[in-house]
Amino acid sequence: MNHDDDRVDSSLPASDEHQTVTALLDAHATAELTEAERTLVERHLTLCQQCQQALNTITHLHSLLRMPAGESEVATLNKYADGMPEYRRGISALADSVLDRLAQGDQTEAASPIPLTSGQLRPDHSEIARRVRRDRKRWAGMLALVAAALCVGVLGIWCLSIISQSISSNIVPTTISRPAPVYWGPRQDQMVARHGQDVFALKYMSDVNELNWAFIYAFRTPQPGTEPQVKVTSSLPKQPAKTITIAASMRTLGRVGDFTMGVMYVRFPNRVGQSITLQGQFPDQATPWRLTIMDQLTAVPASYDQSDGTLRSRGWSAIDAKSFPEISQVYPTLNSYPQDKNAPADDQLLDFLGFTLSSHPKAATPLYVRVDYVGKPASLQVTTISYAEYLRLAGPQPTPTPRPTAAPGSTVHVSVDKTSYGRTDTIKVTIRSDFPYELSLGVPRTSCGMQVQLEMQVNGVWTPVGHCTLPHPATLLTAHGTAYEVLRPQNAFGWQQSATSWQPGTYRITTNYSDVPRPQYGAGFQEVVSPTFVVHG
């Protein structure tokens, strides 16, 4: 929840969320997370390139070591198989397969296959065990082979656990023995309300101790002098009669173009299952707008809900920039995260950033703010700062290098090597840039590890094919550069959903590029599309 993870050159702070996500990466790679944990990991991965690289490494290791699920249909070692990732179950299944084949070596009636009853997925293991004991004298000479197979399985499980732990420990040191709970689940589709030219949008949200929040918003209405009036409520979906209104404090920070930027402070009650809703009304709209921005998933510890000023947690929740692309957040380049030596002892700098118009960044003066933790009671304070103060906190910045002017009509081209493919063919993709300077490439929710997105036309709608939960970080394309991608059914669908063939139909390739240095994820990108091609049945 700390935006430091989004800075390419910054050192990662020891934040609760970053440590938690690091501890969850291995389980995320093997699809063992709960829905709340998966939501936390996916949100954090959109901002943390180091965690993305770590997950790519772990996922690749699992894909290499994972054995096919069909290796054995009988699993007699429940104590190894139950609750394990699939590749570990596969190793145990190998040992089970040896036992099963040995047990079935006797062609007598006692060794005949056990029929499956209705709803039974595999033979009864207790019956197999009795059969093995009964026939033990017949294959006592093969005990060494059985023991060897079991040793291979157990040793493989042990080695894989050591390798997985080693990967995690080498990426980011952590002392967390188990993941921290996820308290809040933001709703990314509920961050902006629009009505004609009227807009109310959340651009930034941060908290201390999970209950004290600050939201930076953008507001626009054609009627001058109008300030937003927002009501905050807490509701329990199963108990609508227990909806309560929460006190909120709002203050204007400044303007970016024709948008008013402001901050709203809210202290949430500690009610598991509650939904937090913002409600307001634009001057020329008859009905109020409502945004249910987040849900409380887990109870916040009682020790957090105190007014003694102790900082027990702090965080920052990402807001999808695509929900409100008109204003972009800007961050400095940092080699290490600064502490404000000029601040009083009870203040602590948590964040500083700027807001600027996305379409015309030089047409309006950016707004710069800092976010501080203030103790007794623990809360947040957002204040406007000058560009000079912004640079003082950031430290020396790289000197911008003048770049050549791109020729009119310059773009990025995406193409494939054929106009038609068979169901198991490889699709070779070429990405070529006309620009005389470096570009960033990025594809939100892209195919696993790819810089492009494969899309299939379904009922007239272009639908992503085999996209993963992990968004791929933006990568660089050199001046007048060319990049290549190779798509196969297996890597397009990811190791968790590997496929052996394409579905027949009409396809295209898309990618996104930005000529803005260090663009924020999801903002400042332009989409380019390849010519369509077909896969024949």
Instruction: Tell me the three-class secondary structure of 54-117, residue by residue.
Output: HHHHHHHHHHHHCCCHHHCCCCCCHHHHCCCCHHHHHHHHHHHHHHHHHHCCCCCHHHCCCCCC
Distance CA 459, CA 438 (A): 38
Same domain as 434, residue 522: yes
Distance CA 135, CA 129 (A): 10
CB environment 39-49: b (16+ within 10 A), e (fewer): bbbbbbbbbbb
HEC secondary structure over 163-190: HHHHHHHHHCCCCCCCCCCCCEEECHHH
Mean pLDDT, range 414-435, rounded to an integer: 94
Query: Is the pLDDT reported for residue 79 higher than 70?
Result: no
Distance CA 468, CA 463 (A): 13
% residues pLDDT > 90 (the chain): 27
- Which residue segment(s) compose the domain that 262 sits in? 184-394
pLDDT at 168: 42
- Listing DSSP states for 104-166 in one string gives TT--SGGGSPPPPPTT--S--HHHHHHHHHHTGGGGGGGHHHHHHHHHHHHHHHHHHHHHHHH
Candidate ranges 45-49, 197-201, 386-390; pick with highest mean pLDDT? 197-201
Among 151, 181, 211, the domain-final residue is: 181
Query: Is the pLDDT reported for residue 173 higher than 70?
Result: no
Who contacts 54 (Cβ-Cβ below 8 Å, separation ≥6)?
22, 25, 167, 168, 171, 172
Reduce the DSSP state of residue 517 to 3 states and report it. Answer: coil
% residues pLDDT > 70 (the chain): 62
CB environment 53-79: b (16+ within 10 A), e (fewer): ebbbbbbebbbebbbeeeebebbbbee
Candidate ranges 57-66, 158-167, 222-231, 299-308; pick with highest mean pLDDT? 222-231
Are 95 and 145 spatial neighbours (Cβ–Cβ below 8 Å)?
no
pLDDT at 157: 52
In one letter, which amino acid is 455? Answer: E
Among 359, 394, 429, the domain-final residue is: 394
The token pair that represents 35 in the structure block: 């829905």
The token pair that represents 367 in the structure block: 């707004």
Strand 453-458 versus strand 505-514 pairing type? antiparallel
| Residue 407 in domain | no
Cis peptide bond prior to 377, omega within 30° of 0: yes
Query: Is the pLDDT reported for residue 88 higher than 50?
Result: no
The token pair that represents 130 in the structure block: 């009795």
pLDDT at 133: 44
Same domain as 211, residue 137: no
Same domain as 131, residue 155: yes
Closest Cα to residue 331, out of 292, 274, 370? Answer: 370
CATH number at residue 381: 2.60.40.10
Mean pLDDT, range 427-441, rounded to an integer: 91
Between helices 143-171 and 16-29, what is the axis angle to 10°? 150
Query: Is the pLDDT reported for residue 371 higher than 60?
Result: yes
The larger pLDDT score, comparing residue 467 to residue 301, is at 301
Same domain as 215, residue 127: no
Candidate from 120-129, 298-307, 469-478 with smallest mean pLDDT: 120-129
| Residue 30 in domain | yes
| Residue 64 in domain | yes
Strands, sheet with 327-330, edge to edge from the N-terminal-most edge strand:
327-330, 347-357, 367-374, 379-385
Same domain as 432, residue 386: no
Query: Is the pLDDT reported for residue 505 higher than 50?
Result: yes
pLDDT at 147: 52
DSSP 8-class letter at 34:
-
Query: Is the pLDDT reported for residue 84 higher than 50?
Result: no
CATH number at residue 435: 2.60.40.2550
What is the chain's length? 537
Same domain as 213, residue 166: no
Distance CA 475, CA 472 (A): 9
| Residue 468 in domain | yes
Rg, C-alpha atoms of the chain = 28
Same domain as 388, residue 296: yes
Same domain as 502, residue 438: yes
| Residue 508 in domain | yes
Distance CA 6, CA 23 (A): 19
Between helices 49-65 and 143-171, what is the axis angle to 10°? 170
Distance CA 325, CA 364 (A): 16
Same domain as 348, residue 201: yes
Mean pLDDT, range 456-472, rounded to an integer: 68
Strand 533-535 versus strand 420-421 pairing type? parallel
Cα separations (Å) of 262 from 89, 216, 248, 252, 348? 53, 6, 13, 4, 21
Between helices 16-29 and 49-65, what is the axis angle to 10°? 20
- CA dihedral sign of residues 321, 322, 328, 333: positive
Query: Is the pLDDT reported for residue 417 higher than 90?
Result: yes
Position 178 confidence tier, pLDDT thresholds 50, 70, 90: very low
| Residue 115 in domain | yes
Same domain as 440, residue 340: no
pLDDT at 508: 94
- Token match 């990426």: residue? 171
Same domain as 447, residue 344: no
Position 362 confidence tier, pLDDT thresholds 50, 70, 90: low
Among 181, 202, 231, the domain-final residue is: 181
Cα separations (Å) of 470 from 28, 261, 271, 372, 475? 10, 31, 31, 31, 15
Number of domains in the chain: 3
Phi, psi of 250 (to 5 degrees): -120, 140
Strand 239-246 versus strand 482-487 pairing type? unpaired
pLDDT at 119: 33
Mean pLDDT across the chain: 72
The C-alpha torsion from 284 through 287 and 288 to 290, rounded to 10°, is -120
Same domain as 240, residue 164: no
Position 491 confidence tier, pLDDT thresholds 50, 70, 90: low
Mean pLDDT, range 86-91, rounded to an integer: 43
DSSP 8-class letter at 447:
B
Reduce the DSSP state of residue 301 to 3 states and report it. Answer: coil
Query: Is the pLDDT reported for residue 488 higher than 90?
Result: no
The larger pLDDT score, comparing residue 187 to residue 6, is at 187
DSSP 8-class letter at 444:
T
| Residue 404 in domain | no
| Residue 401 in domain | no
